[in-house]
Structure 1
Amino acid sequence: MTEFSFACTGVRADRYAAGPTLVFRLRITATGDTPVHALALRCQLRIEPARRGYDSTEAGSLTDLFGERARWGTTLHPVQFAQVPLMVSSFTGETEADLVVPCTYDMDIAATRYLDALTDGEVPLLMLFSGTAFTGPAGFRVEPVPWDREAVYRMPVGVWREMVEQHFPGCGWIRLPRDTMDALLAYRSRHALPSWQATVEALLAQTPEPPPPLDPLRALTATTGRSDP
């Protein structure tokens, strides 16, 4: 049976994709001289948060995912990033292929919130591979690619930020329920506002600032005219 091994040699943001997309470069090695006619792979990418450190700013931004830093020993679990198929054409011995991974900037997705919280450094990824190989010198035979094939890779945070800036320059993203969107659209139409940004800013301008909390000692002083307890 042919043994396969995988390694990731790099990643880039696809600037020509219609949506946010990362392209990982894979090196695939097959033992022996038996031709591999094709590989049908299932590729799963996981973020392993425990394999890097975090400064105080990053830790604060990750509180909603993992809780307070004191609890991270039990809460810093892997985060699912993507699961994509890959077809690899024929080769013998070794080949390279691009793994195209569509991404999202939906902040309700745990992986997106994690990546958005990072300011610098690298993202520790675990890449898991399984699937079917079609091999053989004459004709072909079908072999499984076992589920324990994997590769580790540390993706630069800058690549993720470059990808986001290509599609959402200087912007964030938020998902709202349909009825809330309908209400916002009606408000925008009633006030003839030119954009969603103007709509949100108009609503924020109408929201009164909450009064400062009352200082009990100051209130007592104002009532009695005395400053001593």
Structure 2
Amino acid sequence: MSLRLAIFDVDGTLVDSQAAIVAAMEGAFGGAGLPVPSRAAILSIVGLSLDHAMLRLVPEAEATTRAGLVDGYKATYHANRLAQGAAHSPLFPGAREMLEALNAQPDTLLAVATGKSRRGLDALIEAHGLEQLFISRQVADDHPSKPHPSMIEAALADAGVGPAEAVMIGDTTYDMDMARAAGVPGLGVGWGYHPVEALAPTARRVIAGMDDLVPALEDIWKDPT
């Protein structure tokens, strides 16, 4: 039996974390005495590693200032997560059922490739009781920021599958560009933080709802080219 691998982004794909991310950015920028970027600007950088995100948001700032913003973001995010638990970043409706359906398939493996830190991802997975689902968890601590293909390449190695047997599922152009760089089909989701029209040029397919995800994966695996 040949194996296949579904690699998931997290924020905007599996969990609706926009309120948590915006609140952490507000805490970071407010704590530094800087104007808070717009909600649209903040959501546009979801998926990037924090250092790259801050560079996009305040390119004119000194490196020490951006480093302070990263620390402020982490501190605010961590405090809010401890206070709110699983409600801090709720799963999108149907996400748990979709993951469990894929996990029940004997030839399908699941992985994560996210801009989150190891601590943040592990805490989120534990909060939602998803510890047993993912064979590979790739995080920003260990890799260059998306869209560099390093996270996908590591997930492929962990699973022992080739690019043609894998699909990268995500809601941002960074996910789709990362998939293309790794030679893996990209499946865009339309409920996240980047507009569908931005995903379409590089995604193999873009789906509108969670119920469409498993059938779309089957279609791609039937015809990986």
Q: What band does the TM-score fall into relative to the shorter chain?
A: under 0.3
| More helix per residue | 2
Task: Give TM-score, length-normalised by structure 1.
Answer: 0.22
> Higher Cα Rg: structure 1 or 2?
1
Task: Give TM-score, length-normalised by structure 2.
Answer: 0.23
